[in-house]
Amino acid sequence: MQNTSEEQVRGQVADRGIAIGEGVPTTPHDQTKAYEASGENSPKMVTISEKKLTALLERMERLEAAADKRQLARYDMAKGKIRGKTINLLMLNGKVIIRWSSMVKNLVEKDPITQRWHEDQVIKVQYEDNTVEEMPYVIFGRRYTYLPASVISETKEKDKLFFKVKTEDGKEYNIQDTFIN
């Protein structure tokens, strides 16, 4: 293991968002004196080795990189730290899908000769411009794409949740929670 100078340690710690600089007390004794001089209540101080601090910061980076964003958002909401919600609208053929119906046609059967399953499923999709299109469910499932949008407001009507959302290009949509991902 290589020796690191105090300057290198200060640089590494500063890169991680911890302020250590000239005139900033770095020892617990100096920190206690600084708080006493400022008239504030002295916080509890913890002394940690550089090796342990580096390992702890690296571990935090790994955890944040691999974190389940949905669980983090749920935790933040439970603790009262509400952030702006981002949702994904579904798009097909360059148009935003506002709603779809349950299967118009739903025939799934096994061929007795070949023992293969055959599906004949058709879904009805309504786009943002109120046009309606029927298409095979397989096509719908394979070709839709996501369009990120930020939630402006939420309203609840008759046990259904509706979102007013705004896309990056400035368009606004009112859409039921069933039709977003």
Residues whose CB falls within 8 Å of the CB of residue 27, separated by 6 or more in sequence, listed in order: none
pLDDT given for residue 134 in this prediction: 92
Is residue 165 within 8 A of residue 87, CB to CB? The reply is: yes
110 to each of 51, 61, 118, how far by Cα in Å? 63, 51, 6
pLDDT given for residue 17 in this prediction: 47
Model confidence, pTM: 0.49
Average pLDDT, the chain: 78
Average pLDDT for 156-163: 84
pLDDT band at 155 (very low <50, low <70, confident <90, very high): confident
Express each pLDDT in 56-91 by its tens digit: 998 888 888 777 777 777 777 677 665 667 888 999
Strand intervals (E) in the chain: 86-92, 95-100, 105-110, 117-127, 132-136, 145-157, 160-167, 172-176
Both tokens assigned to 50: 């550089």
Average pLDDT for 40-47: 71
